[in-house]
Every structure is written in C-alpha cells, then in structure tokens.
Chain A
Amino acid sequence: MGGGAVTALISRATAPVKLFFGPRQTRRAFRCSALQPPDVPRLAETARISLSPKEVEEFAPKIRQVIDWFGQLQAVDLENIEPSLRADNEVGVDPRQDQPVEFENREAMLAAVPSYEDPYIKLPKVLNKE
C-alpha cells in the first residue's frame, strides 16, 4: 500500500471526466450556438455577491469550463420529451386548512436579526427596485 498505488488510483480517478463529457461534437455544437458565455461580473451583480477582481479572475475560467460542459445537453435530441419538475413521487394529499397557528418562539427568531430596532428590522438606505 505504498504511495505509488495511491497515485495510480487518483490518476485513474480523474480520467472519467472526459468520458462524461459525451461525444466531442456535442461541445462543438454548443460553441456554435447563440448562447453567450457567462459574464462573471454581471452575474455577480445579479446574484448580489461583491467579487474582488482576483476572484473574478479565478472563477471566470472555471465557470466557463463548467458552463461549456453543461452545453453538451444542447446536442441531445430531447424533442417531445416532457420536462420533469421533480421526482414526482406520490405526495401527501392533505391540503392545509385556513387555520391560524402562531409561532411560539418568535422572540428567539427576532433575537437572531443582526440589526433590530424594536419593533423593526433596521436597514441602511434602500434605493428603488431595479
């Protein structure tokens, strides 16, 4: 059980990545499509995550690589296939009745609010919605 065996094992383990890309042409097909590649700073703004320039530099190629890999589905023939929203296993048929239930531990919940000025949650200036 030397280090050699471990290394071999890991190198094997990284190999399947290619396998799961599917056929080569699927990636080309994606590249030809009209979809724009991710614009990381803009996505970060939409997602309200202030990224440092260093993070943008670090994330952009990785995100692009994954999005590119997502693109393989473009080449799969999925015509006339209904999308599944979820597993669609039987769910409980117990519609909620319109009966009020008060949450008992409200104080603990409000105690967790980082900036609370009784009785309001305090916020900095809020500009208009986008």
Chain B
Amino acid sequence: MPSPIQNPRLLLSHCRLHSPFPPKPHPTVSRHIHRPSRPLLRASSATQQPLATPSTTTPASSDILSVRESILSRRKTVTEVAGEYLDRLRRTEPLIRSFVHVADEEAVMRQAAEIDGRVERGEEVGELAGVLVGVKDNICTADMPSTGGSRILEGYRPAFDATAIGRLRERGAIIVGKTNLDEFGMGSSTEASGFQVTANPWDTSRVPGGSSGGSASAVSARQCMVSLGSDTGGSVRQPASFCGVVGMKPTYGRVSRFGLMAYASSLDVIGCFSSSVTDTAILLRAISGYDRFDATSSNHEVPDYASQLVSVDHFESKPLKGLRVGMICETLGDGVDIGVVSSIQAASVHLEELGCTVTEVSMPSFSLGLPAYYILATSESSSNLSRYDGVRYGNQVAADEINSLYGDSRANGFGPEVKMRILMGTYALSAGYYDAYYKRAQQVRTLVRKSFKAALEQNDILISPAAPTPAYKIGEKTNDPLAMYAGDTMTVNVNLAGLPALVVPCGVVEGGPAGLPVGLQMIGAAFDEAKLLNVGHIFEQTLQSNGFVPPLLTNC
C-alpha cells in the first residue's frame, strides 16, 4: 500500500492502473505551418472537460508541499521520506546513471533525523526542510566532490559551498548527490561527461539531453524531489523537455553564479528542475537574490512566487484571459520535428482555451543567434577553463617543466569536446580575429536583445519548443558537432538576451517504449519569472496528462 506521502503520479505508476496515455486524440489544429502528426496527448479543453477527472488526468502537484505537510502533521518523518528516495535512487541508478556522486547515506539520514528532531521538539524548520535535492556537479558543494563532469577535477572537493547551495542548506534542504553533466556544461546530451553516460528514464537507449542531463533524469525518475542545473544555452530547458520535467532558466543575474563553475560567464545561470511548477516556484525563490559575491547578480526584488500561484480550485473558465502569447514562427519552421511542432501547436490551442490570445511573431535575427552563441560561449570558455592547469587543484600530470605540466595535465584531464571548444575559442579571441568573431557575435547579441524586447512589448510571453526534437539515441550525434549544436537553436537566443524561460511538459510523441515527452518553452521579460510560473502552473494543472511519469518508474 503506498504511503500517504506518495506522489499521486507515483501511486499511479506503482499501481499500474492506467495505460500511460489517454486515447489518441485527433489533430484539430490546422491554421499553423505544419499539420501536427499524431500527438499522443493533447490539451484538454478547460471549458468542456471538468478539471477533476482523476481517471484521465492527474495534474502535477507539489512534492515539496506534500512532504512538508506530511512532516509537520507527523504522518511521516523526514527519515522515512529520505529512505524512500534513496531506495528508489539505488534501484533506478544502474539503469540511468544520473549521479556522479551519491551522498553518503548516513549523512543524509543524519540530516533527516536532525530535522525530525526539530519537528518533534516543535521547533521551526526551514521552508525546504526535508526536501531532497540533486545538484549538477558543476555547482560547488563543500561536503561532496565537485568535478564539473571533468576528469581534471576528479576527486576535487571545494572548500566552500556555492551561494545557491548555502541558501538551500539554510532552508533545510538535503543534498542527495551530484548529478552528471556534459563536461563543464559543454554539450547537449550529457554524453560528453568525463565519467559516464546518463540515460533518459523514458527510454534508456536515449540521451536525457544536456548539459544538465543528470539533474533532469534524476527528477524524472524521482531519485530526488527537485534538482539544480545550469543553463548557458539551454542546458536546463532542453533536458527538461527530453525528460518530461519542469525546467526553469531564470533571468541572468537572478541567481548568484558564485560557486557555479563558469562555462560562459555572460550567459551562465543556475536553474532548477522539478516535477511541478509549484516546486519550481518554491525552489527558485529559495536560490534567488542578490549576492555580494557575484557582481553580476541583481538586487531586483524576489517575490514569493509560489504564493502567487492560483490554486486549481479557483480557476475560472478562462484563467488566462487577456494574456498575449507570441508564438515565435522561426522555431516551428523547416527541420523541426513534426511531432514537436504539433505538440507546441496543441499547447497553443490549449493556451487559447485558457483565454490567451496567441499570435505568431517573427524574429528575423533568430537564426543568427546560434553561431553568435557558439562564438561567445567557446571564447569565454577558452578563458574560463584556463584555470584548470593542475597547479592549485585538480589532477596534475607530473613534469619536469611547467609548460609540460600544463599541457599534459590539460590534455589528460579534458575530454575531446572541451578541448575542441577551447581551441575554437582561442582562435576566435586571437588578435585580428576578435572583431570578426567575438565582436560581431556581441553585435548579433544586441540584435537578439532588441528583437526580444520588441516581441515582448507586443506580447506578455513568447512560446516555442524547447528543442527541435524529442530525446534522440545515445551516440546519434556524438561525431557531428554541428548537428549537436543545432539542437540548441530553440534556447540560445534566450541566453543571449538574458531572459527567463520556463519549460513545462506539454505532450508526448512517438518513440521509445512509452512515447517521448516534449516541452513547451515560455519566455518572459527580464525578472518576469512570476508571470511564467503562473502561466505554467495553470497550463500544467489544466493539461490532460499522466503527469509525465517515465516508464522506468513503472518497471522499477
């Protein structure tokens, strides 16, 4: 018998009561560029179908709030909750390998017991008390190794916590481990990790996306409640889409980067993964805010995002009435998977049913964003990774002369993708090439910013796919950098402009044993995370779905 704390979705999967998908709907959208091809799932009509139809839909609910409720009502202890998660983690980990380091069980249990003690004594507990968090391994944690997915940092233990980690700990969160990633964030599939390949819980022959693939698959497989990732060009949003979880890329400067191993400093931001928008809202608020250790962090006020979310019971028939939604037409063009296109179009119809006005917006500079992004990212990374020289930390290859020590330590420690990006960036920043590459890319960045600004003056939010395809097969693109880079086309422009974007699962397309999830990207104005979370929450609550539970959980 499942315990009361059990997430309804887990209950669902454990009991195997239902087919994972509702009956196949008919494509109904036709005014768009592409006819949707067999979306396996479509939005319910908020007006026609009652929201509370448990037999067909189980809207995402907050793991954080339900755990908190169980703990405070003494129905369950943190120790029990942690035990369940660690148990599931152990069972699923051999299949998906999300973690490069799993926390010492005793340490987790000690932290859990400590919170239980506080509850028992009637003492205050933090807002994230007992929340089990997975942390991307490029975010520094003082009590665990932090490798950035790189062999050069194998075994490295930082002497300090990242600011975001400190904020989580202060609020009572328990870190269950460090998740896998493409080395230093350089990749889109997590295959470029220096340690292991992570599989997608929806189909273990497929990639989880990247670079925060471990964090996305860990949340998808409920190995932890929420997780932190980082997003430089889509590294939170694309894996969120591939793994069917909610992914948030906050505004640049919203979350301190202190303790995040830099990939491309002008683009990097720490983001979060959850299985519900409510959890995203709670987690985002916890990690956001000005930090005196990050001069690029913002002191823009941090709202209580979660308290502003409208509860499912209060939805009017048109809860998003008047919201202007712009669908970026360049993101639904040639080369985008047809299932993805139709899922997004279905999502657009769903938004219209919720009261939004959806119009197409064109951003002509959109396609320039991808090369501009890669120029900036490789250039900045070539500089940011200079510090990994084997002298002060990390793996050193002994040599009798310093330049050999550098060359060999770096050759030994970095993987091929990192090496290539460093070399490309070194090239682009060379004297005489700066104006042709870096500077031009920054000028394109200005164009991109301006076009987003214009589009967001006409619209409250913009929507697009989070990736041009659903999860692809492991090994499919590893030998073709440009094919891999093309997968970032939906997301990089948002980083160039520094805007916030939320990805919520919106559909499932054919592929794998049980279909593959597709995420809808919603882009807002700078520091307008609250709006994205509100829309995302309503969207998620009114979407007919099984809650995007991967088949792994039904079998494991």
Contact of A50 among B408, B427, B487 (CB under 8 A): B408
**Is the CB of B91 closer than 8 A to any CB of chain A?**
no
A12 CB contacts on chain B under 8 angstroms: 335-338, 469
Contact across chains for B423 and A76 when beta carbons are under 8 A apart = no
CB-CB nearest in chain A for B449: A84
Task: Name which residue of chain B comes closest to A113, CB basis.
Answer: B392
Complex CA–CA separation, A62 to B439 (angstroms): 23
A16 with B510: CB separation less than 8 A: no
Chain B residues with CB under 8 A of A89: 251-253, 298, 300, 498, 526-527
Interface string of B272-316 (1 = CB under 8 A from A): 000000000000000000111001111110000000000000000
The residue in chain B whose Cβ has the minimal distance to the Cβ of A50 is B407
Q: A86-B498, A87-B253, A114-B393 are in contact. Are A19 and B333 (CB under 8 A)?
A: yes
Q: Please, which residue of chain B has its CB at the minimum distance from the CB of A13?
A: B469
* Docked-complex contact B371 and A84, CB < 8 angstroms: no
Q: Which B residues lie within 8 Å of A109 (CB)?
A: 159
Partner of B400, one of A19, A49, A125: A125
Q: Which residues of chain B come closer than 8 Å to A1, judged between CB atoms? A: 510-515
Residues from chain B with Cβ under 8 Å of A45 in the complex: 407
**Is the pair A87, B526 in contact by a Cβ cutoff of 8 Å?**
yes
Let me know if A6 and B526 touch, CB within 8 A.
no
The answer, yes or no, to whether B441 is at the interface (CB within 8 Å) is yes
The yes or no answer to A32 lying at the interface (CB within 8 A) is no
- B445 engages A112 (CB within 8 Å): no
Which residue in chain A gives the minimum CB-CB distance to B470? A9
Q: Flag A1-29 by CB within 8 Å of B: 1 or 0 each.
A: 10001100110111111111010000000
A82-99 interface code vs B (CB 8 A; 1 in, 0 out):
111111111111101000
For B416, what are the chain A residues with a Cβ–Cβ distance below 8 Å?
55, 58-59
With A1-B511, A74-B436, A124-B401 as contacts: A16 and B447 at CB distance below 8 Å: no
Chain B residues whose C-beta falls within 8 Å of the C-beta of A78 in the assembled complex: 440, 443-444, 447
CB neighbours (8 Å) of B372 from chain A are 73
Contact across chains for B371 and A94 when beta carbons are under 8 A apart: no
Q: Specify which chain A residues have a CB less than 8 angstroms from the CB of B427 in the assembled complex.
A: 38, 43, 63, 67
Closest Cβ neighbor of A49 among chain B residues: B410
Tell me if B482 is interfacial: C-beta within 8 Å of chain A.
yes
What A residues does B156 contact at CB under 8 A?
112
Q: Which residues of A contact B292 (CB under 8 A)?
A: 92, 94, 96
Q: Cβ of B48: which chain A residues have Cβ within 8 Å of it?
A: none
B335 touches A94 (CB 8 A): no
Please state if B442 and A83 are interface contacts (CB–CB under 8 Å). yes
The answer on a CB contact under 8 Å between B489 and A114 is: no
Band of interface residues on B:
35 or more
Of B174-182, B218-226, B472-480, the stretch lying at the interface with chain A is: B472-480
Q: In this assembly, does B47 line the interface, its C-beta being within 8 Å of a C-beta of chain A?
A: no
Q: Residue of A at shortest CB range from B300?
A: A90
| B419-A83 in contact (CB<8A) | no
Q: Name the one of A72, A96, A114 contacting B395, with C-beta atoms under 8 angstroms.
A: A114
Answer whether residue B481 sits at the interface, using C-beta atoms and an 8 A cutoff: yes
Report the minimum CB–CB distance from A33 to chain B (whole Å). Answer: 7
B420 CB within 8 Å of chain A: yes
Given contacts A49-B410, A89-B498, A94-B299, whether A67 and B424 have CB atoms under 8 Å apart is: yes
Q: What's the Cα separation between A11 and B511 when bound, in Å?
A: 14
Question: In the docked arrangement, what's the CA distance between A84 and B450, Å?
Answer: 11
- Whether B55 sits at the interface, judged by CB under 8 Å, is no
Say yes or no: B424 contacts A66, CB within 8 Å: yes
Contact A19 B335 (CB under 8 A): yes
B236 to A: closest C-beta gap in Å = 16
**A97 CB to nearest B CB, Å:** 10
Contacts of A51 in B (CB 8 A): 411, 419
Contacting residues, chain B, for A115 (C-beta < 8 A)? 396
Q: Which of B335, B374, B470, B512 contacts A15 (CB 8 A)?
A: B335
- Cβ contact of A14, chosen from B437, B439, B480, cutoff 8 A: B480
Q: Is the CB of A19 within 8 A of B367?
A: yes
Contact: B470 with A50, CB < 8 Å? Answer: no
Which chain B residues border A20 with CB–CB below 8 Å? 367, 370-371, 486, 489
A15 to B432, CA, bound (A): 34
Q: What residues of B have a CB within 8 angstroms of the CB of A70 in the complex?
A: 371, 374-375, 424, 428, 437
Nearest chain A residue, comparing its CB with the CB of B487: A13
| Residue from A63, A66, A126 with most neighbouring chain B CB atoms (10 Å) | A66
Closest approach, in angstroms, between the C-beta of A99 and any C-beta of chain B? 11
Residues of B within 8 A of A87 (CB): 251-253, 266, 449, 496-499, 526
Q: Which of A33, A43, A114 contacts B436 (CB 8 A)?
A: A33
Q: Give bound CA distance, A76 to B411, whole Å.
A: 36
C-alpha gap A70/B437 in the complex (Å): 7
Which residues of chain B are near A13, meaning CB under 8 Å? 335, 337, 468-469, 472, 483, 487
Give the residues in chain B near A124, CB-CB below 8 Å.
398-402, 404-405
Instruction: Contact check, B428 vs A81: say whether CB atoms are below 8 A apart.
Output: no
Q: Does B157 lie within 8 Å of A66, measured CB to CB?
A: no
- A114-130: which residues lie under 8 A (CB-CB) from chain B? 114-115, 121, 123-127
Give the shortest distance, in Å, between A22 (CB) and chain B (any CB).
6
Within residues 483 to 529 of chain B, which ones have a CB less than 8 A from any CB in chain A? 483, 485-487, 489, 496-499, 509-515, 526-527
Please determine whether B439 and A83 come into contact, CB atoms closer than 8 angstroms: yes
Can you report 12 A-B residue pairs in the complex whose CB atoms are below 8 A from each other?
Answer: A5-B510, A14-B477, A14-B483, A49-B423, A59-B423, A72-B368, A73-B441, A78-B440, A84-B443, A108-B157, A114-B390, A121-B391
A interface residue numbers (CB < 8 A to B): 1, 5-6, 9-10, 12-20, 22, 33, 35, 38, 40, 43-52, 55, 58-59, 62-63, 65-67, 69-70, 72-74, 76, 78, 81-94, 96, 103, 105-106, 108-109, 112-115, 121, 123-127
Known: A87-B252, A92-B298. 7 other contacts (CB 8 A): A12-B336, A13-B483, A22-B368, A63-B424, A67-B424, A82-B446, A89-B527
